[in-house]
Amino acid sequence: MVNAHDFVVNDIYYNITSPNETVLTVDVTFEGSSYSSSKKTYADSVVVPETVTYKNKKYSVTGVANRAFYNCVNLTGVSLPNSVKKIGTYAFYGCTNLTGAVLPDSLKEIGTYTFYNCGKLNNVTIPDSLESIGNYAFYKCTSLAEIIIPESVNKIGYSVFRDCSSLRNVTLPKGIT
């Protein structure tokens, strides 16, 4: 069987993203050969480390891959390290029991459909480093009541907060409506 991940350390799956051996980087990803056959192994609260060592090489964790936590219904929380710059498309899609996400100060991009249908998500702090939020990023996050988008954000996709029925307060950067 071919795996979507290159290696696993402490029950977290990784893809090597380094284009060369000079700078070693990885993204967190899912277990299995494809997201549709993924075993949805992430559960409870997951703390992603800033670095991970594999075969005597130290890798910096710089991203969360597309569909990394896709439909992990037993995931309740996630904390990402300050080395992560991007959260991919559908990364937390369908994590219906996810209540909180600690996003790092290094984060630049939240992808399309990232937190789609995370109905219990009620606590997200958007870091001042963020530059863009993809379409439908928080769609159907029905427990999300308030969110502050920092001035650093210069691109917000469409329907980002669609069907967020509890959302009462959204603070947007100047110039974005």
In whole angstroms, give the CA distance from residue 28 to residue 65: 6
Chain length of the chain: 177
91: tokens are 């990364």
124: tokens are 């997200």
Query: Is 50 exceeded by the pLDDT of residue 96?
Result: yes
For residue 116, how many C-alpha atoms fall within 13 Å in the half-sphere facing its CB?
A: 19
What pLDDT, in 10s, does the model give residues 35-80?
666 667 899 999 999 999 999 999 999 999 999 999 999 999 999 9
140, 120 Cβ separation under 8 angstroms: no
The reply to whether the predicted model has a pTM over 0.75 is yes
In whole angstroms, give the CA distance from residue 144 to residue 116: 12
In whole angstroms, give the CA distance from residue 43 to residue 72: 7
